[in-house]
Structure 1
Amino acid sequence: MSRIIDSLLKRFDKAVEANVRSSARSYGRRSFLATTGTVLAGAAAGLPILPFDRRANAATGDEAADPCSYWRQCAIDGFVCEESGGSITQCPPGTSTSAVSWVGTCMNPDDNKNYLISYNDCCGKQAVFGATFCNNNKGERPGYRMGLYNDINWCMANTDKGYHCTVSIVMGQAE
């Protein structure tokens, strides 16, 4: 019985080898890589694209396409919380607001007045893969001006130091 299996395996091995050698003579490595790349790109294009819930900015109109262009986000540096269960002013469930934050001054186009915006990081979870990341540096100052520097993990003052997203809270009108 084992002789029969050995004989079949040898025949199969020779057939595969002959087929591979024939293909190698007909097609080069570059052709193989090009075909493989085309197949992979075609497969990726066929994957479904998941929908995004952008209702938080839809009420204001023109910034619905880009949550980073909303007027309150003029000095934000982080992921927006609206896409992970929170809102523009509230952290998502399971996270806590950072004990410290940075402040920006943004102009509201509806009344042409400047407002102080407190940017608080939401801490305790990892950032959401695929969430919108905004990096608006209007008015940012060097790192030695801590309250005006947005490139810090502001969760450092919290027990849960993992950064999740950032909220934008209007503190009042700027003088």
Structure 2
Amino acid sequence: MKKLSEIIFNAMDRLSEKSVRHSARHIGRRNFLSKAGKVFVGASVLPLLPFDRSSGKVYAAEGPTDDDTSCEYWRYCALDGNLCANSGGSISTCPPGSEASKVAWIGTCLNPNDNKSYLVSYNDCCGKAIVNTSTSCLNSERERPGYRMGLHNDINWCMANTNKGYHCTVAALVGLANE
């Protein structure tokens, strides 16, 4: 008669062999390569995603106004660039002949009219020359150093577009910021 330890050892051996063979059949090299490929593609798309530059609430330097052609308009609290509202576009649309950048930065601005904070997406409009009559704003409170690309608004965000020429910047509302 077999010893109890031999019986347990043989049962564990059969169970281990069965699970290893099952894994080899279902989790092969192709499955590993497929998952690794997904990780590499996902990592390569990551730089194209929008960046959150808010780092807390940011306010306009001179105090907010209701004039969307002024740098002190509340939506422009983290805008660094030329206003599209003065360059043939509007606060949220690019002028004709230009296109919105494929990457953007996000700011959190306080609307003084309802005292709520909103997420604002800043997109550069690309493809036209800069107009000299455009208003140039520099609202960069809480801006981070230039070596951290996603937290720095002095970058030409048209770099992802075919036509990389900068024209102006729009400030589109994304939604309410979580407090």
Gaps of 5+ in 2: 1-63
CA distance in 2, matches of 1:93, 1:85: 7
SS of equivalent residue, structure 2 residue 67: helix
SS of equivalent residue, structure 1 residue 85: coil
Offset from partner CA, 1:100-148 (integer Å, 9 cap, x none): 0111110000111111111000000111012100000023112233232
Instruction: Give the root-mean-square deviation of aligned CA atoms.
Output: 1.8
CA distance in 2, matches of 1:116, 1:152: 20
SS of equivalent residue, structure 2 residue 173: strand
**Percent pairwise identity:** 62
Q: Give the conservation status (yes or no) of the 8 Å contact 2:91–2:172.
A: yes
In the alignment, which of 88, 91, 94 is matched to residue 91 of structure 1? Answer: 94
The runs of 4+ residues in structure 1 deviating greater than 4 Å are none
In structure 2, what is the equivalent of residue 79 of structure 1? 82
Instruction: Count how many residue pairs are aligned between Structure 1 and Structure 2.
Output: 115
Gaps of 5+ in 1: 1-60
In structure 2, what is the equivalent of residue 155 of structure 1? 158
- Paired amino acid for 1:67: S
Q: Which has the higher helix share?
A: 1
In structure 1, what is the equivalent of residue 169 of structure 2? 166
Q: Give the conservation status (yes or no) of the 8 Å contact 2:119–2:174.
A: yes
When normalised by structure 1's length, the TM-score is 0.62
In structure 2, what is the equivalent of residue 129 of structure 1? 132
Offset from partner CA, 1:58-106 (integer Å, 9 cap, x none): xxx9443961000000000000001221000000000000000111110
CA distance in 2, matches of 1:149, 1:62: 25
